[in-house]
């Protein structure tokens, strides 16, 4: 086997070969009659250097562009999670999509990286174009404008997903209330919506005034008396939903994780009152703090390990709003007492200390479920 000048190329189908290093100036060699090269190792090294340089000197562009490529990866959601956690560690804020920023993909928005509209699952370019068309007709839209003039013209699933991930925040309504309003208003006919869109004010008041005018027979705008009863039913459900319309952070954290790949504006810890007992954060500990502290975290990974004595200990990764802490260690004596609290996505308080900054291990001495 030796290097040689390539004088021709022909198709030979699939054959087993090897990938090895060769001490050769041109890096060309033959393996099982196949001409190959180990120059790819140089290419990988070059790309690694370029990537590290970009991350160091142009972190905003680095994270924005890598997030734009996340959907091409084997596990897009995991890619986004890791990139966003790394961005947090660099002090870069990542925010969710918003309809006032009608960009298709991740983009740099003044002081943060922001999700594009089409980064939300089941929201495509055609939905973005519909939003842009109808929002473009409004100068300073109110929630009623959005509800009656914009949302009926966009795909129902796309609208619900955008609302649930916070893309319509800023109108003084909870996400749960907006979903409730949208589902009720979705039952109006196109002609009724055109009439409702002519009015200004609170959505419930607009519908009450519309209903008060009655059917066409009595000088109103509703087609029939039977339809009047249907509108009365819609109004009743709007006014008395039968459930709380406030947002539960833990619920929307899961929703955002499903729709965005990461809980960008909510955390399961937000619904845990005991999380206020935390005295530090994952970011501060990862930067080398060695004092005893308490962390309020979500467990992201857990791996058990059997010691030489046959005892079981474990290694954890966990996260909070500041970032992720990977090298968390619970020794056998402690683990045997707290293992029932430890599983992926559990919310806990970890009491412990980074005793050896060189190793970077956070040693846990107690765990409390929250």
Angle between helices 249-260 and 156-164 in degrees, nearest 10: 130
Q: How confident is the model at residue 40 (pLDDT cuts 50, 70, 90)?
A: low
Ranges 12-26, 256-270, 338-352: which has the least confidence = 12-26
d(CA 43, CA 38): 9
Q: How confident is the model at residue 368 (pLDDT cuts 50, 70, 90)?
A: very high
Cβ-proximal residues to 88 (8 Å cutoff; 6+ apart), any chain: 94, 283, 322, 323
Average pLDDT for 268-283: 86
Neighbours of 73 (CB within 10 A): 14
Average pLDDT for 194-198: 95
Domain ranges of the chain: 273-369
Percent of the chain with pLDDT over 90: 72
Ranges 40-49, 76-85, 120-129: which has the least confidence = 40-49
Cβ-proximal residues to 69 (8 Å cutoff; 6+ apart), any chain: none
Cα distances from 60 to residues 11, 71, 217, 298, 343, in angstroms, run: 45, 19, 62, 26, 34
d(CA 117, CA 162): 8
Top pLDDT among 332 and 276 is at 332
CATH number of this structure's domain 273-369:
2.40.50.140
d(CA 103, CA 105): 6
Which pLDDT belongs to residue 269? 85
Ranges 10-14, 95-99, 210-214, 350-354: which has the least confidence = 10-14
Sign for the pseudo-dihedral over CA of 82, 83, 84, 90: positive
Of residues 158, 115, 55, the one with CA closest to residue 261: 115
Average pLDDT for 154-162: 97
List, for residues 232-253, the tens digit of each pLDDT value: 999 999 999 989 999 988 899 9
Of residues 182, 185, 180, 183, the one with CA closest to residue 196: 185
Q: How confident is the model at residue 1 (pLDDT cuts 50, 70, 90)?
A: very low
Q: What is the mean pLDDT of the chain?
A: 89
SS3 for 73-131 is CCCHHHHHHHHHHHHHHCCCCEECCCCCCCCCCCEEECCEEECCHHHCCCCCHHHHHHH
Contact 222, 245 (CB under 8 A): no
25 pLDDT higher than 80: no
Of residues 284, 310, 313, 314, the one with CA closest to residue 297: 284
Sign for the pseudo-dihedral over CA of 319, 323, 324, 330: negative
Cα distances from 111 to residues 165, 278, 362, in angstroms, run: 20, 28, 32
Structure tokens at 203: 């959505």
Neighbours of 1 (CB within 10 A): 10
């Amino acid at each position: 086997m030796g290097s040689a000048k390539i004088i021709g190329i022909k198709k030979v189908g699939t054959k087993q070969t090897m990938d090895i290093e060769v001490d050769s100036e041109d890096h060309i060699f033959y393996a099982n009659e196949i001409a190959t090269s180990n120059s790819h190792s140089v290419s990988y090294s070059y790309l690694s250097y370029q990537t590290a340089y970009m991350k160091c000197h142009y972190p905003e562009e680095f994270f924005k562009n890598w997030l734009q490529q996340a959907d091409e990866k084997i596990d897009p959601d995991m890619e986004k999670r890791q990139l966003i956690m790394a961005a947090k560690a660099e002090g870069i804020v990542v925010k969710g999509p918003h309809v006032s920023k009608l960009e298709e993909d991740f983009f740099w928005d003044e002081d943060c990286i922001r999700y594009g509209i089409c980064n939300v699952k089941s929201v495509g370019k055609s939905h973005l174009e519909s939003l842009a068309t109808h929002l473009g007709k409004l100068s300073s839209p109110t929630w009623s404008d959005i509800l009656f003039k914009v949302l009926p013209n966009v795909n129902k699933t796309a609208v619900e997903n955008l609302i649930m991930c916070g893309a319509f925040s800023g109108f003084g309504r909870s996400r749960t209330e907006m979903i409730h309003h949208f589902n009720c208003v979705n039952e109006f006919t196109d002609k009724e919506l055109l009439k409702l869109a002519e009015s200004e004010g609170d959505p419930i008041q607009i519908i009450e005034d519309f209903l008060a005018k009655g059917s066409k027979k009595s000088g109103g705008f509703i087609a029939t008396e039977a339809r009047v009863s249907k509108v009365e039913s819609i109004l009743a459900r709007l006014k008395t939903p039968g459930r709380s319309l406030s947002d539960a952070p833990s619920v929307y954290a899961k929703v955002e994780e499903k729709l965005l790949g990461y809980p960008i504006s909510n955390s399961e810890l937000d619904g845990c009152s005991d999380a206020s007992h935390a005295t530090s954060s994952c970011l501060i500990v990862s930067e080398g703090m060695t004092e005893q502290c308490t962390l309020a975290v979500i467990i992201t990974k857990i791996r058990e390990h059997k010691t030489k004595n046959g005892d079981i200990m474990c290694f954890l990764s966990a996260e909070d709003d500041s970032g992720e802490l990977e090298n968390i260690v619970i020794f056998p004596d402690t683990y045997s007492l707290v293992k029932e609290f430890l599983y992926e996505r559990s919310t806990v308080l970890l009491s412990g200390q980074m005793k050896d900054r060189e190793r970077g291990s956070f040693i846990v001495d107690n765990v409390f479920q929250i």
